[in-house]
Amino acid sequence: MLLLFPLVFFLMFELPFSLLSPPAAVPGLDIRMLVAVAFTGAAAYYDIFNKKWVPDSLLWGFLGASLLLNVVFFDPAISTQAIFVAIIIAALTYALYRMGQLGGADVFVMASIALAIPYLPKPLLAASQAIPYPFFLSMLAPTGIAFILHMLVRFIPYISHQLAQGKVKFTLQKVAGPALIVISLLIFGAIVSSLPVSLPASYFAIIGFLGTALVFFSLFMPEIKASMVEKIPTSQLQCEDVMALEQMPELAKKLKLSPVISEKAIAALKHAKIKSVPVYTGMPFFLPYLFIGLVFTLLFGDLLYYIAAGF
């Protein structure tokens, strides 16, 4: 039992500060990168070409390989940090999964990446960067931008078509949220512009892009979500499918349904003699963009670092 006290002390006092003090080197980094790229690439392939179904053996294999890396290349501080960060990421993404916002495979892959590559002292094609946070956080910016670009390319033509046909109705409730976002962005821009520090144009370009995307998705989210829904016979439902509960609120409340379909939910629907339910069959895949974020960050480093430096 006495041996636990040093570990507890490290977790409570040393770990929070060490997370902001990246190591100069990570043992076995080349092998760690190879494992992460290989497994994430394979998961992305299945996400695209296998109807977003990634084999369990691949997911558990990635998680097991990532854990094994921290055993083979054991370092007390780095391995502990990797496990700590992976647990946090798994907890947060699992909550999103239960809400129907992420797939189960996404949870496995993101936690496994955090385990495999705790930090990246130096990108493969760029100079060293003084990044004070774990590698996984550096991946979020390129992953998010790639995903947003895909969503815009996919849905701007659809929304334009809906607008041309007069199928989009603008109400006060519909425009209130987006209008508040625009006002907030304008206030933020005014505050930033008044600061004595001169920020690069690239910073405002990224903020402008993200703000515009946020307004677009906020304004047209009901139409976007409706375009991804299809009525599926109860007999054809599969576990891990995501139901559009907002289209059947009374039934969802009566049967105590959650967005992610389970065997219990399918049995309850069949027992209630429900012939079909709305399911999000057109949800976008995510793992390919996570793979893009992984490869970009390994090659070039932290995207936010370049934005802050004005490229």
* DSSP letter for each residue of 125-146: SS------S-HHHHHHHHHHHH
Name residues whose C-beta falls within 8 Å of residue 242's C-beta, 6 or more positions apart in sequence.
100, 259, 260, 261, 279, 280, 283
Tokens for 234? 């109860």
Average pLDDT over residues 118-129: 90
Q: How far is residue 50's CA from residue 2's CA, in Å, rounded to a whole number?
A: 50
Helix (H, G, I), strand (E, B) or coil at 222: helix
Q: What φ, ψ does residue 232 adopt, rounded to 5°? A: -120, 130
pLDDT of residue 307: 81
Q: How far is residue 107's CA from residue 103's CA, in Å, rounded to a whole number?
A: 7
Q: How far is residue 49's CA from residue 301's CA, in Å, rounded to a whole number?
A: 29
**pLDDT averaged over the chain?**
89
Count of other CB atoms within 10 angstroms of residue 8: 9
Average pLDDT over residues 114-132: 89
Q: What φ, ψ does residue 307 adopt, rounded to 5°? A: -65, -45
What are the structural domain ranges in the chain?
Answer: 4-136+286-308, 149-226, 229-280
pLDDT of residue 1: 41
- Contact between 133 and 194 under an 8 Å Cβ cutoff? The reply is no
pLDDT of residue 206: 86
Q: What is the pLDDT of residues 247-304, one digit of tens each?
A: 999 999 999 999 999 999 999 999 999 999 999 999 999 999 999 999 999 999 999 8
Say if residue 15's pLDDT is above 60.
no
Tokens for 217? 């998705």
Count of other CB atoms within 10 angstroms of residue 232: 18
Phi-psi sector, 256: left (phi>0), alpha (psi -120 to 50), beta = left
Q: In this predicted model, which residue has the larger pLDDT, 195 or 60? A: 60
pLDDT of residue 19: 53
Query: What confidence category does residue 198 fall into, taking pLDDT thresholds of 50, 70 and 90?
Result: confident
